[in-house]
Structure 1
């Protein structure tokens, strides 16, 4: 399966502030380094500057220069277009974004590209009219400005990222990494995304609906103290686990367990279990030829109908379609019957 090309917009103002460089580095790290043992071919990464191709960003403005071999015209024809953070002045002071960038984004979308923003890159997609009537997000510090400036957008400041099919938006910093790994999961399957995340030493999958807000008043040790019970639960996903049972094993009241898991992971115990079971089902669909009914049983999602319901709601496709797209084992073949 060819995941296609990923064009990343590089602003002339990259590097001011320093986290712009971090958000630019995310798609470069995820999509720019070939992983031949995971998938072949890998993505084709294009760094597209807002100036002329080959132009160096101004060292006086940024303290460094970024040479981009591609220009905005190269956004058109890419399979995926990613806009990292836009300059702060465009967000805080309302300075106009380059009209040639906005026009190029519109042309890329009209040509069929999947459009993605990281953090304040949402302002560029919004200016291009690509978020009108859609649900979208950005870093919570900027969502009020996004909603006020573009009232046609359904701005959600409580999630890590929003997948609206052909247009995806994320909150800032690490949430951008979550969204990029989500794209790999969509394109190449859960196994590849999980292995890539492991190499990057980051969580394999944080669902987009997880909260941006984590209660930092809870000591960091709480997450570690939950580790043994969560590992225990992962080994028993096929069993009818209850929150009360998990809390008892963690030697906590149900209320305390719920609060501490929410603080550590940003999700409720029921949601955590559902996401773990879906991840197990994805792995089984990719790596085995087990019937869908058996996959539902082993993942703890129950019947085939229940598995299909959650898969369609959370993954967007049926289990059978997911297997056809990402199976790593050959489909079973029917042996010819001997002549009678």
Structure 2
């Protein structure tokens, strides 16, 4: 890079210690996906109210860019922002859905090459995964994309371990998500990884979205809202959260909706995208993480309050889900 680019790269970010997020946009960027990154990361704050992230938008060449809507955006920063970023996010573009789209622009490949190897997290939202795959960043890695583009993605990139039926993937710092709302889940996942459940949950509350949908949850839910005349499973889930501290059976859950266990299980999977048992485990993990971060309860007390019964059981579940023990999680994310 020439001296002018070097000087400019030094001024893209404030240099105040916040985590630096660069959003790389292309022509006809999906405006919703672009706004997700700014909205979600922009709300993450310390207990004292300080911003935890600095988010900037960049393009190959600064200037006015078309979106998929009836308004353009003005991008101030060029690809020099990628060289200084701690996280790079690539949203989708309306052009990605064109089945006749050509190979990746060499200039885009060169821009992505400016990302610091090994030191920067890289993520895509929706069909932004086509860019990562074309640049070779997903070779041999697990990845996903919008379900409508899954067949074309699998055909074009056979060297990627493609998973069509998940909300998002995280393969050692290279992340992909399905379309639209799954990008919110992905950003919350990154915040949770960086700063713990309490911060991520606060961001979710501010955005009025679920605090945690795990990546393995199905992205294409057959019936996201109950059909007329068919009761949902919302009452059962609300009851379960109020009784999370004790064992909960499938029969008890079904009884809250006055239905059989078979019917309840089918409706639950249709509406939530996962099984009742898996959902319960995830809620217990979320409860345990919040208690480890925000209370002085012992590990045994946290295990009991979250419904794991024993510290050993909770330890096994946290290790499987998060890769850390309860004490290590608390040491990492416990506030002052």
Q: Matches of 1:217 and 1:202 in 2, distance apart?
A: 14
Instruction: Measure, in 2, the Cα distance between the counterparts of 1:133 and 1:34.
Output: 32
Instruction: Provide, for residues 77-128 of structure 1, a one-character-per-residue CA deviation record: whole Å limited to 9, x for no partner.
Output: 2100000003425752132332222222233151511000001100111111
1:242-281 matches, within 5 Å, as 242-281=249-288
1:187 positional shift: 1.3
Q: Which residue of 1 aligns with 2:65?
A: 57
User: Residue in 2 aligned with 1:32?
Assistant: 42
Q: Provide the secondary structure at the position in 1 that maps to 2:323.
A: coil
Under a length normalisation based on structure 2, what TM-score does the superposition of the two structures give? Answer: 0.88
Moved more, 319-328 or 25-34: 25-34
C-alpha distance in 1, partners of 2:276/2:74?
A: 47
1:286 is aligned to 2:293: yes
In structure 2, how many angstroms separate the alpha carbons of the residues matched to 1:117 and 1:189?
21
Q: Judge conservation of contact 2:44–2:200 (CA < 8 Å) in 1.
A: no
Question: CA deviation digits over 1:177-204, x for unaligned, max 9?
Answer: 1111111111121111111111111111
5+ residue gaps in structure 1? 15-19, 331-340
Runs (5+) with no aligned partner, structure 2: 1-15
2:185 is the alignment partner of 1:178: yes
CA distance 1:111–1:321, shift in 2 (3 Å): same
For residues 27-62 of structure 1, what are the alpha-carbon distances to aligned partners after superposition, in whole Å with 9 as ceiling and x for unaligned? Answer: 0111235646575242011111122x3x12269x97
Match of 2:214 in 1: 207
Secondary structure of 2:23's partner? strand
Q: Provide the aligned C-alpha RMSD in A.
A: 2.4
User: In the alignment, which residue of structure 2 is the partner of 1:299?
Assistant: 306
CA distance in 2, matches of 1:101, 1:46: 18
Secondary structure of 1:162's counterpart equals strand
Distance 1:58 1:140, change over 3 A: closer
Q: Matches of 2:257 and 2:132 in 1, distance apart?
A: 45
Structure 2 partner of 1:240: 247
Taking a change above 3 Å as real, the CA distance of residues 62 and 221 of structure 1, as seen in their structure-2 partners, is closer
Instruction: Report SS of the residue matched to 2:139.
Output: coil
Secondary structure, aligned partner of 1:44: strand
Q: How does 1:36-185 map to 2 (within 5 A)?
A: 40-51=50-61, 53=62, 55-57=63-65, 63-88=70-95, 92-110=99-117, 112-185=119-192
Distance 1:132 1:291 in 2: 43
Three-state SS of the structure 1 residue aligned to 2:64 is: coil
Q: Counterpart in 1 of 2:197?
A: 190
For this pair of structures, how many residues does the alignment match? 321
- Is the CA contact 1:117–1:125 (under 8 Å) kept in the aligned structure 2? yes
Q: What is the TM-score with the length of structure 1 in the denominator?
A: 0.87
Residues 169 and 256 from structure 1, CA distance in 2 versus in 1: closer, same or farther, beyond 3 angstroms?
Answer: same
